[in-house]
Amino acid sequence: MSELIRLSAADLADKIHKREVSAVEATQAHLDRIAEVDGAVHAFLHVNTEGALAAAAKVDEQIAVGEVASPLAGVPLALKDVMTTIDAPTTVGSKILENWLPPYDATVTERLRAAGIVILGKTNMDEFAMGSSTENSAYGPTHNPWDLERIPGGSGGGSSASLAAFEAPLAIGTDTGGSIRQPGAVTGTVGVKPTYGTVSRYGLVAFSSSLDQAGPCARTVLDAALLHEVIAGYDPMDSTSINQPVRPVVEAARQGATGDLKGVKVGVVREFRGEGYQQGVIDCFDAAVQQLRDLGAEVVEVSCPHFKYALGAYYLIAPSEASSNLARFDAMRYGLRVDNGALGELSAEQVMSLTREAGFGPEVKRRIILGTYALSAGYYDAYYGSAQKVRTLISRDFTSAFEQVDVLVAPTTPTTAFKIGERIDDPLAMYLNDLCTIPSNLAGNAALSVPSGLAAEDGLPAGLQVMAPALADERMYRVAAAYEVARDAAQGGPLINRVPELEAISR
């Protein structure tokens, strides 16, 4: 294994910018790694070998004449297959967009390219980002590098697994109910959902417009912060984009890494423990809270009484918006068209029905039906209307909590990674994965997950979730970076180094 692939993005960038290693060499090392292990992991749906090497060569040319596009120029990245790319198919994990080549780049894609970040390929995900395990991908599940029989989380399991498998030092995820943070937690990596509206959604194939938010995934807090500053910022193409300067998250991560949290008030969310929480996850969390105290933070308990309604509200709002967002897949302009060889005899409506029947998987259909029902005349007020009221109450819980503390902490997920197939027939059990992450999607505030150790009973990673107020993303970076240093000191090195060696199974 080339040592290049074990480096952090910051260290790799440093080597590339000092011309100790070329961007092409760094890219090739990761492409080799993908070729070696992705047969076992299946993090990628599409690897853009030529495009990646060409992009890397361009960065090398620029560096040769003294131009460095960004602090991450030349570093490879794995892009979730929900972001449009003009040079690679964008399937969203669905048969309905199999082989669809978008005519445009997402704003995030554009910003990555402008920063000289090398896009290795597109990562696997639950179909239309609906799921917590990648088992809903139409192209087969991704396997967790910590235990290949287990799920890597979802919907962004491909992105998180690529980090844990050292196939890429950076990845992009999108988080609608926890799809960045939960995969981060169960793969021992860092996943950040920035404040809603701070990273453009233009070119992010929509699941639930008012909840979707793209964010950085990495193996260290600083790497995530560096990537955060590349992709964040106002975009007039996204009306919900906030026209404010990007928060100084890199500076905050560096400050946090000095290991001093004196004067920081941390709130432990009282509601996030008890029945359904794995003991090892709770133990990791309690140990993490103690470390925050040791770093000088003041820790208090905070109650958010309406969080218990979050899951219910989420499963009305997200499917409602999805039912409308996914209506455009009608076989008319792009994507799959199913006509059973009888196009001339079928009406447009019949082709539409056949296509949607064949093109969408069961979880997507379940949510379209749920959302269509929730928006129907006579049910709207009881379902969608009530859910929006709950959303307001959850926002108020956050507001009053952040009047008392600077950040909130909780476990990211109630359990560690479960076995592939274990919950696939029990949607409600699957939905519980996102119990702790959903409130921040509903309220729109910032939240991240940082690894908090391995659960004693199964040796699998658990995650510490740090939540900050909207547009105060830097607070959670500072706390997470401080914790990361303390954790590594206490546990004798980075957690990610304890991921088992993967047997080579080529793609």
Q: Token pair for residue 359?
A: 């093109």
How many residues at the interface with other proteins, by CB under 8 A? 45
Report in angstroms how near the CB of residue 18 gets to other proteins at its nearest: 37
Q: What is the 3-state secondary structure (H, E, C) of 330-354?
A: CCCCCCCCCCCCCHHHCCHHHHHHH
The verdict on 225 binding other proteins (CB under 8 A) reads no
In the list 64, 101, 114, 237, the residue contacting other proteins (rule: CB under 8 A) is 237
In the list 67, 104, 369, 459, the residue contacting other proteins (rule: CB under 8 A) is 104
In the list 8, 27, 28, 84, the residue contacting other proteins (rule: CB under 8 A) is 84
Measured CA to CA, the distance from residue 153 to residue 178 in angstroms comes to 9
Using the rule CB under 8 A, give the single segment among 153-161, 206-214, 284-292, 470-478 that binds other proteins: 206-214
The verdict on 92 binding other proteins (CB under 8 A) reads yes
Residue 308 bears catalytic tag = no
The verdict on 90 binding other proteins (CB under 8 A) reads yes
Which lies closer to other proteins via its Cβ, residue 205 or residue 448? 205
Q: Which of 22, 155, 159, 160 is catalytic?
A: 155
Q: Which helix (H) or strand (E) holds 273?
A: none
The verdict on 349 binding other proteins (CB under 8 A) reads yes
DSSP string, 18-54: TTSS-HHHHHHHHHHHHHHHHHHH--EEEE-HHHHHH
Contacts of residue 172, defined as CB under 8 A and 6 or more positions apart, other chains included, come to 77, 78, 79, 80, 83, 108, 112, 159, 214, 215, 216, 217, 227, 231
Residue 452 bears catalytic tag = no
**Contact by Cβ (8 Å): 429, 265:** no
Q: How does 427-446 read in b/e, with b if 16+ C-beta sit within 10 Å?
A: eeebbbbbbbbbbbbbbbbb
Binding mask 376-415 for other proteins (x = CB under 8 A): xx--x---x-------------------------------
Task: Find the length of the chain.
Answer: 507
**Contact by Cβ (8 Å): 199, 232:** yes
Which lies closer to other proteins via its Cβ, residue 262 or residue 333? 333
The verdict on 103 binding other proteins (CB under 8 A) reads yes
In the list 240, 255, 395, 491, the residue contacting other proteins (rule: CB under 8 A) is 240
Using the rule CB under 8 A, give the single segment among 44-52, 100-108, 248-256, 479-487 that binds other proteins: 100-108
Report in angstroms how near the CB of residue 489 gets to other proteins at its nearest: 43
Which lies closer to other proteins via its Cβ, residue 177 or residue 184? 177
List the beta strands (DSSP E) in 223-358.
Answer: 265-269, 298-302
Measured CA to CA, the distance from residue 393 to residue 507 in angstroms comes to 48
The verdict on 320 binding other proteins (CB under 8 A) reads yes
**Contact by Cβ (8 Å): 417, 153:** yes
Q: Which helix (H) or strand (E) holds 192?
A: strand 190-193
The verdict on 205 binding other proteins (CB under 8 A) reads yes
Q: Which of 15, 80, 122, 193 is catalytic?
A: 80
In the list 87, 238, 339, 422, the residue contacting other proteins (rule: CB under 8 A) is 238
Using the rule CB under 8 A, give the single segment among 1-9, 203-211, 248-256, 424-432 that binds other proteins: 203-211
- Please name which of 131, 129, 137 lies closest in space to residue 83, comparing C-alpha atoms: 129
Bond prior to 155 in cis (omega within 30° of 0): yes
Using the rule CB under 8 A, give the single segment among 40-48, 342-350, 447-455, 496-504 that binds other proteins: 342-350
Three-class SS state of 479:
helix
Residue 159 bears catalytic tag = no
Measured CA to CA, the distance from residue 169 to residue 285 in angstroms comes to 26
In the list 352, 390, 446, 502, the residue contacting other proteins (rule: CB under 8 A) is 352
**Contact by Cβ (8 Å): 346, 112:** no
Binding mask 156-195 for other proteins (x = CB under 8 A): ----------------------------------------
Measured CA to CA, the distance from residue 142 to residue 156 in angstroms comes to 10
Give me the sign of the Cα torsion angle 136, 141, 145, 146: positive
Measured CA to CA, the distance from residue 179 to residue 58 in angstroms comes to 32
The verdict on 2 binding other proteins (CB under 8 A) reads no
The verdict on 321 binding other proteins (CB under 8 A) reads yes
Residues belonging to the active site: 80, 155, 179
The residues that touch other proteins, with contacts defined as CB under 8 A, are 83-84, 90, 92, 97, 100, 102-104, 106, 201-206, 208-210, 236-240, 320-321, 323-324, 327-330, 332-334, 344, 348-349, 352, 372, 375-377, 380, 384
